[in-house]
Amino acid sequence: RRPSLCFVGLGLAVPCPLQLFEAEARFVAACMTGGSALLTLGAREDWVATRKKQVGDRPQDMHFLGSDTWQHMRDLVRLSGLDENAYADYCRKLTLLQAVYSASAGKKPKLPWEDDWYRDCKYSVDWTAGTWSAVEPE
């Protein structure tokens, strides 16, 4: 059986949704165009069984990615068939994005009614150098 219907963007608790959508779209495109990304039926069924064990009695958590999102994106893009250099570049950029996200998330208040000053930080990223900086509001 070859899947022909895919849903992109269903992940819950995703730190960077657009990057997840990109990784999912790459994977779906590779599967639909007959690339080697499509796992065997047995491997797909095994993945679902493993995921069901992970979520236990909470099937609503099948789409909950949380802290696994970053590795999930890397895995999807690797399976999509990018060549080694392009994949290394993708991972380098994703690692940089993860660092920026973590820094921002670390400034977020614990309670929703607390000051949300972190939203006014200005981030600057140099993708080529692999560096970033943040300027906090005064």
Per-residue pLDDT of 34-81, as tens digits, reads: 777 777 888 888 988 998 998 899 888 888 888 889 999 999 999 998
Selected residue with higher pLDDT from 4 and 70: 70
Residue 15 has pLDDT above 70, yes or no: yes
Tokens of 119: 């939203």
pTM given for the model: 0.83
Q: Which of 34, 126, 30, 13 lies closest to 75, judged by CA? A: 30
Q: Is residue 49 within a helix (H) or strand (E), and if so which, with residue range?
A: helix 41-55
SS3 content of the chain, % helix, strand, coil (to 5): 55, 10, 35
> What pLDDT, on a 0 to 100 scale, did the predictor assign at position 43?
86
CA–CA separation, 46 and 44 (whole Å): 5
> What pLDDT, on a 0 to 100 scale, did the predictor assign at position 8?
85
Per-residue pLDDT of 78-109, as tens digits, reads: 999 889 999 999 999 999 999 999 999 999 99
Selected residue with higher pLDDT from 87 and 14: 87
CA–CA separation, 119 and 105 (whole Å): 10
> What pLDDT, on a 0 to 100 scale, did the predictor assign at position 1?
63
